[in-house]
């Protein structure tokens, strides 16, 4: 757990240094929309955040579907186990030796 906090602290420090060193304003143009004066670090970090969202949404949808499938399969297993436990167990007799003439134990 401590290692995770250390990694998060190092990444946060790197982002802070990056933002401080890249504070120059940069113009932004997208199709017909134009804006100026955005800090370069802000644009890059905003692009990173948008990329994470764009990549994360399909992964979340896939995870949601897989969880639903797991729940359905767990219900099916429970149904099959309930049916198996409520049904009488088949007799587990050993096959008789034809030479024994029906007497148990030979």
For the residues of the chain, what is the DSSP string, one character each?
-HHHHHHHHHHHHHHHHHHHHT--EEEEEETTEEEEEEEHHHHHHHHHHHHHHHHHHHHHHHHHHHHHHHHHHHHHHHHHHHHHHHSPPPP-PPPPPGGGTT-TT-
Q: Is residue 20 part of a domain?
A: yes
Q: Is residue 30 part of a domain?
A: yes
Q: Is residue 19 part of a domain?
A: yes
What pLDDT sits at residue 80?
A: 93
Structural domain boundaries, residue 71: 15-85
Please, are residues 87 and 80 in contact by the beta-carbon 8 Å criterion?
Answer: no
What pLDDT sits at residue 60?
A: 92
What pLDDT sits at residue 91?
A: 61
What pLDDT sits at residue 74?
A: 97
What pLDDT sits at residue 61?
A: 94
What pLDDT sits at residue 38?
A: 81
Q: How many domains does the chain have?
A: 1
What pLDDT sits at residue 31?
A: 87
Please, are residues 25 and 38 in contact by the beta-carbon 8 Å criterion?
Answer: yes
What pLDDT sits at residue 92?
A: 59
pLDDT mean by block of 10 residues, the chain; 106 residues: 84 83 82 82 84 90 96 95 79 62 56
What pLDDT sits at residue 34?
A: 84
Q: Is residue 43 part of a domain?
A: yes
């Amino acid at each position: 757990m401590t290692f995770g906090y250390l990694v998060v602290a190092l990444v946060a420090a790197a982002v802070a240094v990056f933002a401080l060193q890249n504070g120059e304003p940069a113009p932004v143009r997208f199709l017909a929309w134009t804006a100026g004066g955005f800090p370069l670090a802000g644009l890059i970090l905003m692009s990173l955040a948008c990329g994470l969202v764009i990549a994360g949404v399909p992964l979340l949808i896939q995870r949601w579907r897989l969880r639903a499938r797991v729940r359905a399969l767990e219900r099916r297993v429970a149904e099959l186990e309930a049916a198996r436990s409520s049904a009488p167990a088949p007799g587990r007799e050993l096959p008789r030796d034809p030479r024994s003439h029906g007497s148990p134990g030979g």
